[in-house]
Structure 1
Amino acid sequence: MTVTIALVYQSLLGVYGDRGNSIVLLQRLRRRGLDAELVVCEPGDTIPPDAQVYLLGGGEDLAQISAVKALKADGNLFRGLDAGGVLLAVCAGFQICGTSFTVGENDEVHEGLGLLDVSTRRGPTRAVGEILTEWTLPDGDTSLITGFENHGGYTTLGKDAKPLARVEKGIGNDGRGFEGAVQGKIIGTYPHGPVLARNPALADHLLELALGHELDPLPMSSVATLRTERISAIRG
């Protein structure tokens, strides 16, 4: 089996280096001896309806509107998720997965993709800076997630979405102590970094969701050292 990773609309939702998430997933699969391919889809391209992992990244206001229109017209992201695919949506990608989001100085409300039970509105202050959160894994263990947040929208979760993590330092969704959202096999989160390069446990969690089984450990001392340094720096 070849694991297909679909990087969706890089030119619209890829201005903060979130493409790196696709490289992390690809290499973590290959280092375990698993076959993997990366499919980069731009507006006008057909998104594969049978990918195991889909990735959306960060972008600007007008790019969000264009991405929603194109994704709805294509339809294959919805089909792929219905077939069991996994989606990681970062920042603007997270926002457009919700029921609605606002753009521009007039806070014009736009309909989202409806994949997550969340809505986004302009917040009182822009969230900019390092963020550190505590994520509880499905087995009950906890892991810290580090990244860099840069968003003006504040996201509120509805009853069908659960927070990804609890904020230790930073703003997160709306300054009230939580970050990201999880609903089925869809994960929305604000941190860049890229977030999967900084947080290998989260990367492996996505791959395990996609594959349906646990992966063998992939210890990398250099990554562990960098994580320790980043966490120490954020905590001050």
Structure 2
Amino acid sequence: MISIGLILPDVLGTYGDDGNALVLRQRARMRGLEAEIVRVKLGDPVPSTLDVYCLGGGEDTAQILAAEHLIADGGLTRAASAGRPIFAICAGLQVLGESFRASGRVVDGVGLIDATTASLSKRAIGEVVSTPVLPGLSAPLTGFENHMGATILGPDASPLGSVTRGVGNTDLAALGAVEGGSVSVSEQKLAEGAVQGSVIATYMHGPALARNPELADLLLARAMGVELASLAPLDLPVVDKLRAERLR
């Protein structure tokens, strides 16, 4: 049985990113594997032994509530320490960073990603496409970004992809104070998402895993403790059609 944790869907469920957990469950079941979604709501303890975790997007108040709960509970941090895959979208990316800006103040994040989030000069909204940087991925990554966060990666984090269309993590105005680190200013400008340890995060809505089946299967393989190449391929023409339409 593959256990898929859907973390705080009651506060981080604004943009339909709950669909990522559904995609993981369905792609597992289509391969004849048993899979279940474990919904963990605000105030519930976060189990540290699930096979994979999904976090979605939300507004400022929701982000603050999520960060406070996840820091106090500690379950997700223990899961990350154990190497269990975690997939975070938009506000989820910001919440898992070192700090983020919400409701006019800087809020402490969970600290699973070496990243800080301030504010963009202009909202990033529209299609975003990137070339994957994460080893194991080869297909272009596609999604819909809608955020005001300017996320700067620290030396311990790497981008998920390099932007070929759209804004990505940040804009030029927010990069003025960036110095040093393993991610250069030019790389920060093209960066989309973040990868650190077992955590993969992105600003891509869509939901992201419906639009990027290779990424979904990478997470599924990690949840199972196997190589991506060992998963039986799925012939889904409708997904291929969706990707072709979105990449246009």
Task: State how far apart, in whole Å, the 2-side matches of 1:146 and 1:75 are.
Answer: 32
After TM superposition, the score normalised by the length of structure 1 is: 0.93
Residue in structure 1 matched with residue 235 of structure 2 by the alignment: 219
Give the one of 140, 159, 170 matched to 1:144.
140
Tell whether the 8 Å contact from 1:118 to 1:156 is kept in structure 2 after alignment: yes
Tell whether the 8 Å contact from 2:134 to 2:161 is kept in structure 1 after alignment: no
Q: CA deviation at 1:51?
A: 0.4
Residue in structure 1 matched with residue 197 of structure 2 by the alignment: 184
Tell whether the 8 Å contact from 1:128 to 1:150 is kept in structure 2 after alignment: yes
Aligned length: 228
After TM superposition, the score normalised by the length of structure 2 is: 0.89
Q: CA deviation at 1:46?
A: 2.1
Tell whether the 8 Å contact from 2:5 to 2:40 is kept in structure 1 after alignment: yes
Give the one of 215, 219, 233 matched to 1:206.
219
Tell whether the 8 Å contact from 1:84 to 1:210 is kept in structure 2 after alignment: no
Task: State how far apart, in whole Å, the 2-side matches of 1:46 and 1:213 are.
Answer: 28
Give unpaired runs (5+ residues) of structure 1. Answer: none
Q: CA deviation at 1:84?
A: 2.5
Between the two proteins, what is the percent identity of the paired residues? Answer: 50
Q: CA deviation at 1:137?
A: 4.8
Give 1:222-233 correspondences, 5 Å limit.
Answer: 222-232=238-248
The one-letter amino acid paired with 2:152 is T
Q: Deviations over 1:105-160 (max 9, x none)?
A: x3x11110000001000111110111111114524x62111111000011000000
Tell whether the 8 Å contact from 1:72 to 1:113 is kept in structure 2 after alignment: yes
Q: CA deviation at 1:216?
A: 1.6
Task: State how far apart, in whole Å, the 2-side matches of 1:184 and 1:47 are.
Answer: 19
Q: CA deviation at 1:166?
A: 0.6
Residue in structure 1 matched with residue 207 of structure 2 by the alignment: 194
Q: CA 1:28–1:56 in 2, change beyond 3 Å: closer, same or farther?
A: same
Tell whether the 8 Å contact from 2:134 to 2:160 is kept in structure 1 after alignment: no
The one-letter amino acid paired with 1:145 is L
Tell whether the 8 Å contact from 1:163 to 1:181 is kept in structure 2 after alignment: yes
Give 1:85-96 correspondences, 5 Å limit.
Answer: 85-96=84-95
Tell whether the 8 Å contact from 2:80 to 2:112 is kept in structure 1 after alignment: no
The one-letter amino acid paired with 2:218 is H
Q: CA deviation at 1:213?
A: 1.2
Give the one of 162, 171, 174 matched to 1:166.
162
1:153 and 2:166 aligned: no
Q: CA deviation at 1:3?
A: 0.9
Tell whether the 8 Å contact from 1:160 to 1:183 is kept in structure 2 after alignment: yes
Give unpaired runs (5+ residues) of structure 2. Answer: 172-188
Task: State how far apart, in whole Å, the 1-side matches of 2:238 and 2:118 are.
Answer: 39
Q: CA deviation at 1:222?
A: 1.2
Residue in structure 2 matched with residue 24 of structure 1 by the alignment: 23
The one-letter amino acid paired with 1:17 is G
Q: CA deviation at 1:183?
A: 0.6
Compute the RMSD of aligned alpha carbons. 1.1
Runs of 4+ in 1 over 3 A off after TM superposition: none
Tell whether the 8 Å contact from 2:193 to 2:201 is kept in structure 1 after alignment: yes
1:114 and 2:130 aligned: no
